[in-house]
């Protein structure tokens, strides 16, 4: 067993706080035009929600997740709990409301463009901090190796995050889009995964590399920021504390261009290249000492690409595992891309999530 593997007898507990839902997925030949009436070519009902998906992924990979969230005591709520429990997610910290409704999402998957459109209906009433008393929170955090937040349920998530900081438990946050309360949460994160548009929207920077520099400067606690780019892979900026007088200074946009020129786009499996530790400069923003990484996505044949729903959640779940398993940064990005690609080969956010015994993950788990 390598130093990057997690011993089977180690108690690696992960605490997540965020969204759960039921996904109603309909595949269509092509997305309908206004007033069209079309038939689905397939239909599936499956669990969803960013936090629930990421924790399901982490559970299948070998972690022991606990989830703080809320459902109603209705058909959807009971299905959400049953499915999470079947995958090894501890649901004992979920609040079950006797009234209201559980969240659900209509998802239309376009077979022609391989895109998906989501129509989300929030559950109610929302989880409030008063429903997570201190003894319950302390019990949920007991023994936790890492905390995951998806930016939802922000008032309760902030309580969880502050207690995690007090206990020196690192936090991975997934930033999908600006949300109410996100600015307070993101300040407490040790690691960030972001959807493609988030860094530029949040910072106002003109390019993704400049936006990553801005984020690291604005978030003094964060160790790395990853932005996922779908079929174009990902970019990661990792802060370094190893700056020396001879550390070279380079424009971050030009550095990204040089790294992308070195990428082997012909390889079908995910790859990763990185810069040395450098002074990364963004004009008009500032300078960060760190390393820039460029990861490729798996080249999935068009005939095998079914649905991208939850691909970002799968990526985040794999990053959670990689942090706990002490993967190198390059190995982490390749691993997360492999897990996300496996998910994309089936309909829904969870059916395609691989288990730790999956042959496609063998080279990472040795």
Helix, strand, or coil here: 114? coil
Predicted confidence (pLDDT) per residue in 292-338, tens digit: 999 999 999 999 999 999 999 999 999 999 999 999 999 999 999 99
Above 50 in pLDDT, residue 189?
Answer: yes
Above 80 in pLDDT, residue 244?
Answer: no
CB contact burial 52-83 (16+ within 10 A = b; e otherwise): bbbbbbbbbbbbbbbbbbbbbebebbebbbeb
Above 90 in pLDDT, residue 32?
Answer: yes
Above 80 in pLDDT, residue 224?
Answer: yes
CA neighbor of 336 nearest in space, from 357, 347, 322, 325: 322
Predicted confidence (pLDDT) per residue in 330-341, tens digit: 999 999 999 999
Predicted confidence (pLDDT) per residue in 144-170, tens digit: 999 999 999 999 999 999 999 999 999
**What secondary structure letter does DSSP report for 153?**
S
Above 80 in pLDDT, residue 256?
Answer: yes
- pLDDT more than 90, % of the chain: 91
| 13-31+42-365 maps to CATH 3.40.1190.20 | yes
* pLDDT value at residue 268: 84
Both tokens of 160, joined, read 């969880």
Neighbouring CB atoms inside 10 A of 234's CB total: 24
Region of poorest pLDDT, from 126-140, 187-201, 234-248: 234-248
Helix axes 311-324, 329-343, angle to 10 degrees: 140
- 70-96 mean pLDDT: 97
All residues at 6 or more sequence positions from 35 whose CB lies less than 8 Å from its CB, including other chains: none
- 76-83 mean pLDDT: 97
Region of poorest pLDDT, from 1-5, 221-225, 291-295, 300-304: 1-5
In terms of phi and psi (left: phi > 0; alpha: psi -120 to 50; beta: otherwise), the region of 310 is left
All residues at 6 or more sequence positions from 37 whose CB lies less than 8 Å from its CB, including other chains: none
Helix, strand, or coil here: 48? strand
- 133-144 mean pLDDT: 97
* pLDDT value at residue 241: 81
- 50-59 mean pLDDT: 98
Helix, strand, or coil here: 74? coil
């Amino acid at each position: 067993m390598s130093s990057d593997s997690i011993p089977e007898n180690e108690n690696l507990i992960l605490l997540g706080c965020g969204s759960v839902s039921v996904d109603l997925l309909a595949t269509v030949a092509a997305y309908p035009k206004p007033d069209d009436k079309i038939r689905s070519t397939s239909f599936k009902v499956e669990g969803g929600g960013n936090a629930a998906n990421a924790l399901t992924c982490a559970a299948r990979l070998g972690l022991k997740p606990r989830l703080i969230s809320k459902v109603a005591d209705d058909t959807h709520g009971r299905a959400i709990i049953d499915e999470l429990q079947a995958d090894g997610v501890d649901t004992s910290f979920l609040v079950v409301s006797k009234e209201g409704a559980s969240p659900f999402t209509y998802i239309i998957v376009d077979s022609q463009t391989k895109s998906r459109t989501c129509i989300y209906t929030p559950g109610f009433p929302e989880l409030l901090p008063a429903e997570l008393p201190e003894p319950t929170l302390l019990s949920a955090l007991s023994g936790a190796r890492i905390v995951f937040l998806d930016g939802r349920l922000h008032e309760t998530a902030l309580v969880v995050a502050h207690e995690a900081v007090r206990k020196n438990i690192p936090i991975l946050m997934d930033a999908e889009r600006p949300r109410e309360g996100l600015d307070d949460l993101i300040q407490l994160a040790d690691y960030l995964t972001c959807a493609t548009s988030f860094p530029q929207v949040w910072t106002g920077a003109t390019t993704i590399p400049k936006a990553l520099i801005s984020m690291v400067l604005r978030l003094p606690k964060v160790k790395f920021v990853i932005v996922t780019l779908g079929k174009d892979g990902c970019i990661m900026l990792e802060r370094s504390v190893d700056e020396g007088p001879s550390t070279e200074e380079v424009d971050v946009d030009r550095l990204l261009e040089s790294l992308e020129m070195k990428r082997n786009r012909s390889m079908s499996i995910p790859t990763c290249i990185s810069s040395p530790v450098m002074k990364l400069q963004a004009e008009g923003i500032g300078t960060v000492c760190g390393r820039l990484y460029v990861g490729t996505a798996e080249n999935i044949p068009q005939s095998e690409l079914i649905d991208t729903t939850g691909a970002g959640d799968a990526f985040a779940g794999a990053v959670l595992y990689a942090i706990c398993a002490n993967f190198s940064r390059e190995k982490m990005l390749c691993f997360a891309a492999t897990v996300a690609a496996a998910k994309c080969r089936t309909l829904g956010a969870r059916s395609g999530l691989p288990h730790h015994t999956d042959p496609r993950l063998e080279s990472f788990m040795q």
